[in-house]
């Protein structure tokens, strides 16, 4: 019974598509329709080329920033060779969360070095980098936090932030940061 209904729907769609095609065929010349389809295909292709070009450019910029970071702190190259998967995960997470700081090789090197030395605290190091960033508008994480504050209401979000601060203080007491 289900397949009979599906067959009827397919036939109905074919009929509608055929009628639509006949309507276009009677009001538009084949050359005009071909030109319109060609133009649409060219426009689609141009947007795809733009997306591809943007991705390629982004990859080039990312590689350049990564290389500059490794140049800023030579010890990071050894850490990268030792555990490249973890190192790349840390760098990518930092870059995604705090793109403004990731553009500066010295700042990026400092945070990635901390994550390399204390991998169990990598997430907290990234969160702390967001607190240190004077231009928080560049941060997707900060935007998400603001959105959460708006959607849950100030009190609930403030409570979560206070809880996070208490957890942070406890972790800092367990793992004191040198020079702080």
Domain chopping of the chain, boundaries? 42-174
pLDDT for 52: 75
In this structure, are residues 78 and 116 in contact, taking their beta carbons and an 8 Å threshold?
Answer: no
In this structure, are residues 76 and 70 in contact, taking their beta carbons and an 8 Å threshold?
Answer: yes
pLDDT for 136: 54
For 73, counting Cβ atoms within 10 Å of its Cβ (0-12 exposed, 13-18 middle, 19+ buried), the class is: middle
Distance CA 176, CA 91 (A): 23
pLDDT for 112: 95
pLDDT in tens, 29-49: 555 556 666 666 666 666 667
pLDDT for 127: 86
pLDDT for 19: 55
Distance CA 111, CA 90 (A): 9
Ranges of the chain whose pLDDT falls below 70 = 1-3, 6, 9-48, 134-180
Q: What percent of the residues of the chain are helix, what percent strand, and what percent coil, each to the nearest 5?
A: 90, 0, 10
Identify the helix (H) or strand (E) that includes residue 136: none
């Amino acid at each position: 019974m289900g397949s009979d209904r599906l067959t009827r729907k397919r036939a109905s769609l074919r009929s509608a598509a055929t009628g639509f095609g006949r309507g276009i065929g009677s009001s538009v010349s084949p050359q005009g329709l071909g030109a319109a389809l060609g133009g649409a295909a060219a426009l689609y292709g141009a947007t795809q080329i733009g997306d591809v070009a943007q991705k390629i450019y982004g990859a080039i910029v990312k590689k350049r920033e990564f290389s500059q970071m490794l140049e800023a702190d030579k010890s990071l190259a050894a850490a990268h060779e030792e555990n490249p998967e973890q190192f790349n995960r840390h760098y990518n997470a930092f870059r995604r969360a705090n793109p403004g700081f990731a553009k500066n090789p010295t700042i990026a090197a400092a945070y990635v070095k901390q994550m390399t030395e204390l991998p169990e605290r990598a997430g907290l190091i990234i969160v702390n980098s967001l607190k240190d960033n004077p231009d928080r508008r560049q941060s997707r994480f900060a935007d998400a936090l603001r959105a959460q504050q708006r959607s849950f209401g100030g009190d609930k979000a403030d409570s979560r932030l206070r809880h996070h601060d208490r957890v942070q203080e406890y972790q800092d007491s367990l793992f004191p940061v040198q020079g702080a």
